[in-house]
Each structure stands twice: as structure tokens, then as C-alpha cells.
Amino acid sequence: MAKIMAVNAGSSSIKFQLLEMPEEKVIASGVMERIGLAEGIFTLKYNGKKEETNPVLPTHAEGVQLLLDTLLDKGIVKSLNEISGVGHRVVQGGEYFKDSTLVDGPDGTVVKKIAELADLAPLHNPAHIIGIKAFYKALPNVPEVVVFDTVFHQTMPEEAYMYATPYEWYEKYGIRKYGAHGTSHKFVSQRCAEVMGKKLEDTKIIVCHLGNGASISAVEGGKCKDTSMGLTPLEGIPMGTRSGNLDPTVVSYICEKENKTAAEVVNILNKKSGYLGMSGRSNDARDVTQGMNDGDHRCKLTFDVQAKRIVDYIASYYVYMGGCDAICFTAGMGENLKHLRLNIAKRLGVLGVKIDEKLNDTFSDERIISTPDSKIKLYIIPTNEEVMIARDTLRVANIK
């Protein structure tokens, strides 16, 4: 038995889950937010309890120290020696990292490489490094493993990841599709094969990870063959605040019309578009659903545009894989938004997809939502990135 800390460090937050492995049991979880501000928020869940405090957290290092002290104070661990490994989510591993990797110290080559890749994930990679260093400071002798969102997509064939731009851009700057949410796509596709009772090698699965960030992937025989996110998470389907695909000319056009720089317009495409931009209400699907139910045309249109684009990807991946056994819905909207799933499933009728509206409406966790005669099965599979991180930490650091 080993306790593994799965960590997702952002620029002002640290999300964590302490898992007992290999049982995959969550011992404690929570988040530290507003790091660097006058007053932080520390939410901790353990033993069925949820506690919230407002400590001052000047940097991530104080956050990690407080987390470890709290685990001891509450008796969640008796000694910090019980923590056998720390696994960190890292958004961008570029073409360099083809698997989760053991970190060779706070200033070693792995951290340097993650720093070099920060151009491709300027908000995320630097924050992950701060998280890695903070844990080294607090637990200097505990192995740390980095688990990349991009690794699962590294099996995409060249024809799927290359853009038809000047080839030198790829050679000089690494301009290509990298994808994201790979840890989730991997977990869900593996779990779907288990639920279907099929060998992973024999499956063709389309995973729809629909959260505030959203992406779709084609997973054949357990390997990613294509995915909707690109060089950055902006590509693909519309999301909470991201536009997804559009004609790049929109950028230069708006630059001229509104006297903005390209970076400013791209920022709007990342932060003020998608659900938020289209509905004019919110990036949260619950608010947009409320608007739709109240008869707001733009709210309904927001869901229709997204459903149409999702189906465009599903149809394309169906053809690319030469068929499909199952379509899985996961993440906040995929798991909870029944009207969106219904909207998508109805558009897929031409492929022989039949949704069971009762099963779609019933609230429970993992389940099938298609009828027995549906040609492609539809599943809801709640994602669990933390478990994947903990599994990889055990494997890569060779923890028994």
C-alpha cells in the first residue's frame, strides 16, 4: 500500500488528492486558491467532512507546507513518510515527453524542459514548475512524477497532427497539433472498454470531454488517433469561454476594426467567446440552460452551435476510424447536461445512434444511455484524472 499525492498546480491555486494505492481510494482532497492574494481559501475534504479556512498563502511553498501540516494535524497521515510519491499534472509536454516521467530534482533536466515548453502553455507550465519545486522543498526525498496532458495524443499519425502551414514553422517552432485533456481521454477510453467487456485493443471509441474546456478524441485500440484541440486548447469545438475553430482572418479583421493587437483578439477568443460570448450571459452551462428554458434565442443557439460542431467531429472520427463502438460523455457538461447529450444523439441518428431518453434523464453515475439496438453505444463515464496521475506515479517511480 502506498499513499500518492496527485497535484494540479495552477498560477494561483493547487488542487490535490491524496490516494491510497493501488486501491485507488481517496483519503483526502481539496484545493488552495487565491495564492499570492491577501486572503487565500483552503478547502479540505476528508472522512466525509468538508472544511474551509482562509489562510494567508504568499506563495505555493507556504500552501504546500500548510497542506502537509494539516494532513498531520488532522491525523489524515501519521507521518509524512507515508507519502510515497507526488504526481503532477502538466499541461504541455510537446513532442519531447512521450510518457509520464520521473522528475530528476527541482533544477534537473525535466523541469528545464517543461520550462522550455512554456511558450506553448504560458499560463500552465510555469505554474506546474512552481508546484513541483514547492513539493521538493517540503518533501525533498519523495519521488515526483510529471503526467502530461499531451502524452496520450502523441500517438496521432503525422497526417492528423500536422497543419498545412509552411513546413518550416513545424521545424523551427514546433507548430502542430498537440491536443489536451489526454489524461482524461485515456482514463475514459480504458474504462469504457472495461464497461463494454471488450479488450482495449479491439475498441474504437470517441470520447467527448465536455467541461468548461472541451475536447473530443478518436481512440482506436486504446491509442489516440486524432483529437480536436490543437497547438493550444483554443482549437476544436466551442467551449465555456473559447471560440473553437474559426477562420484565422477573423483575427486580423477585428484587429483593424477595433484597433487591437493579435494577442488581444486571441485573448478574447480564449476568454470572452464560446458560451459566454454567444449567450451574452455566462460561461456556465447551467446559466445558459436557464436562459434557453426562459426562451432566450441566443442561449438555445449556443447549445445548437456547440452540438453541431461536436457532431461534425464525431462524424469525421467515425469515418477516420472506419467505425465506432462507443461514444463516451465525460466532464462537467458531458456528465450532467442531459439536453446537450440528447441534442447530440438526435443528430447522430443517421449513424444508427439511438439514445434511451429515460436512461439519459436518470441521475446516477457511470451508465449506458443508448438503447440495446443502437449501432453505437452511448455511455456516461465520469472522468478521473487524479487516479490516472496516481497510477502513473506508481508505475514510473516504481513504487510498491
Residue 371 interacts with ligand ADP (CB under 6 A): yes or no: no
At 113, phi and psi to the nearest 5? -65, -40
Residue 332 interacts with ligand ADP (CB under 6 A): yes or no: yes
Residue 336 interacts with ligand ADP (CB under 6 A): yes or no: yes
Is the Cβ of residue 212 or residue 316 nearer to ligand ADP in the bound state?
212
Rounding to the nearest 10 degrees, give the CA dihedral for residues 231, 235, 236, 238.
Answer: 150
149 in active site: yes
Residue 182 interacts with ligand ADP (CB under 6 A): yes or no: no
Instruction: Name the residue whose CB lies closest to ligand ADP.
Output: 332
Residue 240 interacts with ligand ADP (CB under 6 A): yes or no: yes
DSSP single-letter state for residue 100: -
Contact 169, 175 (CB under 8 A): yes
Is the Cβ of residue 93 or residue 238 nearer to ligand ADP in the bound state?
238
How far apart CA 95 and CA 342 sit, in angstroms, is 37
- Which of 132, 337, 389, 390 binds ligand ADP (CB under 6 A)? It is 337
Q: Which stretch binds ligand ADP (CB under 6 A): 143-151, 210-218, 225-233, 292-300?
A: 210-218
- Which of 333, 344, 345, 381 binds ligand ADP (CB under 6 A)? It is 333
Least separation in angstroms between residue 233's CB and ligand ADP is 10
Could you tell me where the DSSP H helices lie in 118-222? 125-138, 158-161, 167-173, 182-196
Look at residue 349 and give its three-state secondary structure: helix
* Sequential DSSP letters for 313-334: HHHHHHHHHTS-SEEEEEHHHH
Amino acid at 325: D
How far apart CA 126 and CA 117 sit, in angstroms, is 9
Least separation in angstroms between residue 336's CB and ligand ADP is 3
How far apart CA 153 and CA 353 sit, in angstroms, is 26
* Sequential DSSP letters for 188-203: HHHHHHHHHT--GGG-
Residue 224 interacts with ligand ADP (CB under 6 A): yes or no: no
- Which of 286, 297, 375, 395 binds ligand ADP (CB under 6 A)? It is 286
Is the Cβ of residue 84 or residue 150 nearer to ligand ADP in the bound state?
150
Active-site positions read 149
Q: Which residues bind ligand ADP (CB under 6 A)?
A: 211-213, 240, 284-286, 331-333, 336-337
